[in-house]
Structure 1
């Protein structure tokens, strides 16, 4: 003859079912939250810029302070260019400088004709920065853009 389980054992089954339900409920909330896009200041935001006829397109951007941005720059021109990101002083130094090619540095790179290059930059403080090309005559021709950090 089958014996009924003691009351304490049946209570354990009820507690176990409640525990499983609790774990499932937490999973239903946690998984979508973990899959959401990164908020400002989290992760890396990617933007694409095309160089065509010695101009950047687009030439203006706005980001929140603390944002890290990966700039993917496509040079569709038959001539070399560069992408230099910084304040007016950085632009002046590069305009007067003699560095024909830039080793990998955040916000600075050479972009040979017909290639795509990538650089990453973190915008720490509010304000504005300029990006430009300082190969002979390019900056004067208008090959520049603005990043607003606010």
Structure 2
């Protein structure tokens, strides 16, 4: 079965490269494998047991990521990505849910939602659930933005 999955993944990469596209999925659970982009890409993040899966991704600068977030938990969660100023605002704020704002999505139990974020310069950004005590529990992840190759 693993050999079949590997062959299927290789076929997806070959088709994407032949079409001038890019691979759009992380290769392992923590997301540290592939570097996504540049251009537009979609990343699916599953929330299970108050954790993001994958927790970390890497992208090239100039990549716009559409985060599709699936909450499999029986409680509400959110995904907020951005610079520390965004996280500071959320840590001290009282928003129970987020309007459609780039980089922010709130989800009830069992819901799926999406948000888009443009990673325009090399940096390390956090993804955090700022609902009470979720960050303290460890509901954090990250996006490493790498300089675009020459």
| TM category, shorter | 0.7 to 0.9
Aligned to 1:101: 97
Give 5+ residue unaligned stretches, structure 1.
1-32
Instruction: Tell me the alpha carbon deviations over residues 98-122 of structure 1, each in whole angstroms, 9 at most, x when there is no partner.
Output: 1111000110111111011011111
Aligned to 1:148: 144
Q: Please identify the structure whose Cα radius of gyration is greater.
A: 1
1:37 aligns with 2:15: no
- What is the distance in 2 between the residues matched to 1:35 and 1:49? 25
Displaced runs of 4 or more, over 4 A: none
- What is the distance in 1 between the residues matched to 2:38 and 2:44? 19
Give secondary structure in 2 for the equivalent of 1:79: coil
Aligned to 1:54: 50
Q: Is the 8 A contact 2:38 2:59 kept in 1?
A: no
Question: TM-score if structure 2 supplies the norm length?
Answer: 0.73
How far the C-alpha of 1:35 sits from its partner, in A, is 3.8
- What is the distance in 1 between the residues matched to 2:123 and 2:86? 15
Aligned pairs (5 A) from 1:128-147: 128-147=124-143
- Aligned with 1:121 (options 117, 128, 132): 117
- What is the distance in 1 between the residues matched to 2:106 and 2:86? 15
How far the C-alpha of 1:96 sits from its partner, in A, is 1.3
- What is the distance in 2 between the residues matched to 1:116 and 1:102? 14
Corresponding pairs, count: 117
